[in-house]
Structure 1
């Protein structure tokens, strides 16, 4: 399986920006390959265009999230069962009931399979605009962070990201969560006035 995925990655790499766009879109709705596997090597080989690649990856990923939302809304839970087990679906449900939009935001930033959350957002009738807003923030933060690391470290970025990605996502998710909590506190205070 991993050999087949590697062949697909190589094939998509030949298509450059279009391959990056496709994998970014598909990862958010139905495809098992994350866009980072193209974004990072493309960014390292073209550091002057890495921010552009991060932008394309973000836009395509958000469009894919919208497609995933429609898959969830139209096809429902049975399609999700094709991707993950019922036990994992229950976990995703718990995340949504506990954290609401924060679940979308954190899954958009971390290596958690994002497509599961976009499809579930459609199933659970989360407003599309909520999905789009938190997808832009989460996916944008992730891909622009990777691009920034590439700009700063050049060819050393790939091993750095591979070795530290879990730590980076934990720190990033924590910062995003703090920002979200501050946003909610400010919003509540404005409503009281």
Structure 2
């Protein structure tokens, strides 16, 4: 009988294998890029084990996450700006967030692209903000600055903690990574729930 714990452990084992593979950097970059547009899982799930495996490269890995996330954000912004009806709305519809489209507009009317900064630091789906930022014609450079700050703080905080605490962080995460993974997934789901029921 397949249990939730068994599924989690199987996924965890696969995640560790990916983080140690030769193509891990490409996978990390791809996940970080696509998460800004449509992919549901955050790059943190790969950044953590990869930084633990190569502690001295933790900040480099965080930089890769930031750079590719911004590239994805720019593409998401462009999709929202030019192709919201054709491409952007189907993505929002897929996640069941159609009714939150105008709620996000209110956020932008009040906070401009700084609402993106909040999304970058919270479980609220970043992809939702990139697409709508373009759709509502938010100032592009404010969008970039807000995204850089929020995503940078997020990724470099993870890298910094792993770099500073090293083996302690590794020991804790190796013993409790299933809980960390579960917590990250719950936060991701919570972001969709929060935005859906605002």
What are the ranges of 5 or more consecutive residues in structure 2 without an aligned counterpart? 188-198
1:92 deviates by 2.0
Matched residue, 2:26: 18
Q: 1:83 aligns with which of 95, 113, 133?
A: 95
Residue 53 in structure 1 maps to residue 65 in structure 2: no
1:71 deviates by 1.2
Instruction: Work out the CA distance in 1 between the residues paired with 2:37 and 2:54.
Output: 27
Matched residue, 2:195: none
Of 86-95 and 102-111, more deviation after overlay is shown by 86-95
Aligned residues: 165
How do residues 1-193 of structure 1 correspond to structure 2 at under 5 angstroms?
6=11, 9=15, 13=19, 14=21, 15-77=23-85, 78-79=89-90, 80-154=92-166, 155-156=170-171, 158=173, 159=176, 162=180
Structure with the larger RCO, 1 or 2 (CA within 8 Å, 6+ apart): 2
Instruction: Work out the CA distance in 2 between the residues paired with 1:157 and 1:60.
Output: 28
What are the ranges of 5 or more consecutive residues in structure 1 without an aligned counterpart? 170-193
Indicate conservation of the 8 Å contact 2:28/2:47, yes or no. Answer: yes
Q: Any idea what SS the aligned residue of 1:126 has?
A: coil
1:73 deviates by 1.3
TM-score after normalising by structure 1: 0.74
RMSD: 3.0
Kindly provide the CA deviation profile for residues 34-61 of structure 1, in whole angstroms up to 9, marking residues without a partner as x.
0000001100111000000000100000
Of 139-148 and 105-114, more deviation after overlay is shown by 105-114
